[in-house]
Structure 1
Amino acid sequence: MFIYQGKLNWYNYAVDETFTIIFPKGVVRANDPVYIFTQWTKDAAGVEKAKFFQTIVVQDLKQLPKTTDVSFNLSGSWYNYAITTEQNYSKIKVDMTSPSGGKASITLERHWQPQGEINPDAALRIWAGSIDWRENAVNEQAIFVLPEDYEDGKPIVSSWQWTKDGSGNAKTSAFKGTNMKVVGSDDKFDKFSFNNFFDITCAWSRETQKLGIEVKADGKQAKIGELNLVAKVEPKKHSFDSDDLVPPTKKETEFRLPQPVQTLPRVLHPMPFPKTIMETLTHGVAFIEQAGYLTAQAQNKFAALDEDFHKQTVLVQSLKKDKQNLESQITKLSDERNQANTKIDELEKQLAKANEAYQNKVKELDDTIKGLQKHGEVDHSIMKKLQEDLNSLYGQNMDLQDQLTKAQIEREELHEMISSLHSQVIVLNETQLELENVLKVQRDENTRLVNENSRLDDEWKKSLKANEALQSQLANAKKDHDKIKEELAKTSKSLKDTNADL
Structure 2
Amino acid sequence: MFIYQGKLNWDKYAVDETFTIIFPKGAVRANEPAYLFTQWTEDDHHAEKDKFFQTRIIKNVKQLPNTTDVSFKLPGTWYNFDITTEQNYSKIKVIMSGKEGTKTITLNRVWQPVGEVDPNAALAIWAGSINFGDKAVNEQAIFVLPEDYKEGKPVISSWQWTKDESGKAKTAAFKGTPMKVVECSDKISKFAFNNVFDFTCSWDTTTQQLAVEVKDGAEQVNVGNLNLFAKIEAQAHHFDSDDLTPPTQQKTEFRLPQPQATLPRVLDPMPFPKTLFETLTHGAAFIEQAGYLTIQAQNKFTALHEEFHKQGTYVETLKKDKQNLEEQIKSLSDACKTADEKVNELKKQLDQASADYQKKVKALTDFIDHLKEDDKLDHKVIKKLQEELNHGHQQIITLNGKLSQAQIDKKALSTVTLGLKSKIAELDGKRIKLENELTGQKAQNVTLRGEIISLKRKLSDSLEANGHLQKELRLSEAALKESRSKFTDANNKFDKEELAHKATKSSLKTAQETADALDKQLKIAKSDISKAEKTAIDAQEDYDNKVIEAQNFYHKIQKYEAAVDTFQKVLISDEIENEKLNNINKTFKDLRRATFNCN
TM-score w.r.t. the length of structure 2 is: 0.54
Aligned pair in 2 of structure 1 residues 101, 16: CA closer, same or farther (>3 Å)? closer
Q: 1: CA distance between counterparts of 2:73 and 2:228?
A: 25
Q: Distance in 2 between matches of 1:39 and 1:168?
A: 21
- Rounded to whole Å, the distance in 2 between the matches of 1:316 and 1:59 is 15
Counterpart residue identity of residue 34, structure 2: V
Say whether the 8 Å CA contact 2:62–2:71 is kept in structure 1. Answer: yes
2-structure distance, mates of 1:85, 1:289 = 50
Q: Deviation per CA, 1:30-69, whole angstroms, max 9, x where unpaired? A: 1011111111111111111111111111111111111111
Tell me the residue number matched to 1:238: 237
Aligned pairs for 1:93-242 (under 5 A) are 93-98=93-98, 100-240=99-239
Cα distance, 1:266 vs. partner? 8.2
The match for 2:320 is 321
Long gaps (5+) in structure 2? 247-265, 365-384, 390-599
For 1:462, the equivalent position in structure 2 comes to none
- 1:214 and 1:332 mapped to 2: Cα distance? 33
Larger fraction in helix: 2
Q: 2:424 aligns to what?
A: none
Within 5 A, what are the aligned runs for 1:351-362? none
Corresponding residue for 1:2? 2
Counterpart position of 1:78: 78
Partner of residue 277, structure 2 = 278
Shift of 1:152: 1.4
- 1:350, CA displacement in angstroms? 7.3
CA contact (8 A) 2:11 2:100 kept: no
**What secondary structure is seen at the aligned counterpart in 1 of 2:315?**
helix
Q: Which residue number corresponds to residue 46 of structure 1?
A: 46
Deviation at 1:101, TM superposition (A): 4.2
CA distance in 2 between counterparts of 1:266 and 1:287 reads 20
CA shift at 1:77, angstroms? 2.8
Structure 2 counterpart SS, 1:3: strand
- Map 1:404-443; keep pairs closer than 5 Å: none
Give yes or no for contact 1:72–1:84 (8 Å, CA) kept in 2: yes
Shift of 1:235: 2.4
> CA shift at 1:217, angstroms?
2.4
Amino acid at match of 2:23: F
**Matched letter for residue 5 of structure 1:** Q
Kindly indicate whether the alpha-carbon contact (under 8 Å) linking 2:198 and 2:214 is maintained by their aligned counterparts in 1: yes
SS in 2 for 1:317: helix
Correspondence for 2:562: none
2: distance between equivalents of 1:244 and 1:318? 31
Q: How far has the Cα of 1:342 moved from its partner?
A: 3.3
CA gap of 1:69–1:244, structure 2 versus 1, over 3 A, is: farther
Q: Is the 8 A contact 1:121 1:237 kept in 2?
A: no
CA distance in 1, matches of 2:20, 2:353: 51
Any conservation in 1 of the 2:124–2:228 contact (CA below 8 Å)?
yes
Q: Supply the distance in 1 between the matched residues of 2:40 and 2:321 (Cα, whole angstroms).
A: 20
- Note the 1:476-491 alignment, pairs <5 A: none
Query: Is 1:67 aligned with 2:67?
Result: yes
Deviation per residue, 1:292-324 (Å, 9 max, x gap): 322222221111111111111111111111111
Write the letter of the residue equivalent to 2:52.
Answer: F
Amino acid at match of 1:164: K
**Structure 2 counterparts to residues 263-412 of structure 1, below 5 A:** 267=268, 271-345=270-344
Query: 1:23 aligns to what?
Result: 23
The amino acid across from 1:50 in the alignment is D
Q: Secondary structure at the match of 1:193?
A: strand
Determine if contact 1:127/1:229 at 8 Å carries over to the other structure. yes
Q: Deviation of residue 224 (structure 1)?
A: 0.4
Q: Distance in 2 between matches of 1:282 and 1:315?
A: 49
Q: Distance in 2 between matches of 1:333 and 1:237?
A: 42
Q: Which amino acid in structure 2 is aligned with residue 10 of structure 1?
A: W
* In 2: Cα distance, 1:245 partner to 1:175 partner: 47
Structure 2 partner of 1:408? none
Q: Distance in 1 between matches of 2:5 and 2:324?
A: 22
State whether residues 239 and 302 of structure 2, in contact with CA within 8 Å, keep that contact through their aligned partners in structure 1: no
CA distance in 1, matches of 2:245, 2:295: 22
Indicate the SS of the match to 1:167: coil
RMSD of the TM alignment (CA)?
2.8
Q: Which structure has the bigger radius of gyration? A: 2
Higher strand share: 1
Code of the aligned partner of 2:167: G
| Other structure's SS at 1:118 match | coil
Is the Cα contact below 8 Å between 2:187 and 2:206 reproduced in 1? yes
* Offset, 1:23: 0.5
The answer (yes or no) to whether the contact 1:80–1:96 under 8 Å persists in 2 is yes
Aligned-pair CA distance for 1:339: 2.1
Whole-Å Cα distance in 2 between the matches of residues 147 and 246 of structure 1?
Answer: 35
Runs of 5+ consecutive residues of structure 1 not aligned to the other structure: 248-264, 364-369, 375-502
Determine if contact 2:36/2:54 at 8 Å carries over to the other structure.
Answer: yes
Structure-2 separation of matches of 1:101 and 1:153: 45
Cα distance change, pair 244–15 in 1 and its aligned pair in 2 (3 A): farther
8 Å CA contact 2:144–2:156 kept in 1: the answer is: yes
Q: Is the 8 A contact 1:235 1:310 kept in 2?
A: no
SS of 2:327's partner is helix
> Could you tell me which amino acid in structure 2 is paired with residue 225 of structure 1?
G
The CA distance in 2 between the partners of 1:116 and 1:308, in whole Å, is: 28
SS at structure 2 position matched to 1:190: strand
How far off is 1:232 after superposition? Answer: 1.3
Deviation at 1:222, TM superposition (A): 0.7
TM-score w.r.t. length of structure 1: 0.64
Secondary structure of the 1:40 match is: strand
What count of residue pairs does the alignment treat as equivalent?
344
Higher relative contact order (CA 8 A, sep 6+): 1
Q: Would you say the 8 A contact 2:61–2:71 is kept in 1?
A: yes
Mean Cα displacement is larger for which, 65-74 or 337-346?
Answer: 337-346
State the distance in 2 between where 1:178 and 1:87 align. 26
| Percent of aligned positions that are identical | 65
- State the partner residue of 1:467: none
